Structure 1
Amino acid sequence: MSEHRNLAPHPMTVDEMVARESLRHLVAAYGHAIDRRDWSLLRTLYHPDATDDHTPYYCGPVDGYIAWLPTMMANWRATIHTAVSALIVIEGDHAQGEIAARAWHLTLDGSRQFVAWGRYADHYERRDSVWRFAKRSFILDHAEDLPAQTGNDFGSAGVATGCAGEDDPVHVWLPWFSRPL
């Protein structure tokens, strides 16, 4: 194998720490935008000429990906896209990241849950001082198709129940998350 100097621990500059935190925020915002079905927020996370590769479902320009998502996401009552870990290499205004992720999906009738375990192979670019996705590709490592427990609260009467879209309780409790762009 080649030398791994880009991945090895090293002293970080303040600029590199700021870049890493910006990229982690970008990745977290992606999960939020997908799960809340906030397509306008999602569009801001990519550069205009970016691409997204979710082969075999979609591969191409980001505008096509975002146009395809509402139809695909309409199959799921709820989803949770979580970044488990992030390994990022930064070189100037370009960066690459391997983001380990878990994507949980609940069927519309609540009877099944599909869990995709995988990784995003990301290319980021900083333009006009802002980091965005230049290319995002998904690698599936493992998938689970499981029965779901019945009920929404699992014995916790009164607990707020999440849902896709603007009716999710986060928009009431965290109104800054719903501000127009």
Structure 2
Amino acid sequence: MTTAEEHIRRSLADYCHRVDRYDVAGIVALFAPDGCYDLGFGRIFRGPDELRTLFRRVEVYRATSHHVSNIVVDVHGDTATARSALYAYHVRRDDDSEAHVWGQYQDRYVLRDGVWLVRSRSLRVAAERGTRPEDGRATLYEPLPRGI
């Protein structure tokens, strides 16, 4: 028998696999219909249409490689939380330049029809190299809070 924690760990691995294969429909299928992705700086993508818009941005890369580790899952009945460390490597199509991202996902999951789906994902970043910030910000991603 597979536990809720194993399903959620599998969801995290499937997410990385689907992003790296540029399987936008497959990525969106991992989210609840009312699910959202918070990239920070107020950029929140809600529901399947906005999530598809977000994940189509990966098209600018000819290759990506996403890795999650340090996964901690807490299950509370039909809901769960998970946090994980992320390293993501990217190579742009237009000029072969590279981007690296190190950060953390904070996730909330919900059990619907026997399937654990991402209700919300938040990405905060410890470091980034080679990214291209938007809207005049110094970084592309919102920094991971630190207790110092």
Compute the TM-score of the two structures, normalised by the length of structure 2. 0.80
2:8 is matched with 23
**Larger fraction in strand:** 2
Which one of 59, 62, 66 corresponds to residue 52 of structure 2? 66
Q: 1:44 to 1:27 in 2, by over 3 A?
A: same
1:135 is matched with 120
What per-residue deviation string (whole Å, max 9, x for no partner) do you get for residues 27-76 of structure 1? 01111111111111112101101111113484131320222321x21221
Larger radius of gyration between Structure 1 and Structure 2: 1
- For 2:123 and 2:91, the matched residues in 1 are separated by 20
Q: 1:73 to 1:56 in 2, by over 3 A?
A: farther
1:169 is matched with none
- For 2:123 and 2:85, the matched residues in 1 are separated by 10
| Cα RMSD after superposing both structures | 1.9
Q: Which structure's relative contact order is higher, taking Cα pairs within 8 Å and 6+ residues apart?
A: 2
- Per the TM alignment, residue 96 of structure 1 is displaced from its structure 2 partner at its CA by 0.5
Q: 1:110 to 1:60 in 2, by over 3 A?
A: closer
Stretch deviating more after TM superposition (49-58 or 27-36): 49-58
The answer to whether the Cα contact below 8 Å between 2:86 and 2:103 also exists between their aligned partners in 1 is: yes
Unaligned runs of 5+ in 2: 132-148
1:75 is matched with 60
2:90 is matched with 105
Which one of 23, 26, 32 corresponds to residue 47 of structure 1? 32
Runs of 4+ in 1 over 3 A off after TM superposition: none
User: Is residue 26 of structure 2 the alignment partner of residue 38 of structure 1?
Assistant: no
- Per the TM alignment, residue 109 of structure 1 is displaced from its structure 2 partner at its CA by 4.7
- For 1:124 and 1:91, the matched residues in 2 are separated by 10
Task: Name the count of aligned residue pairs.
Answer: 130
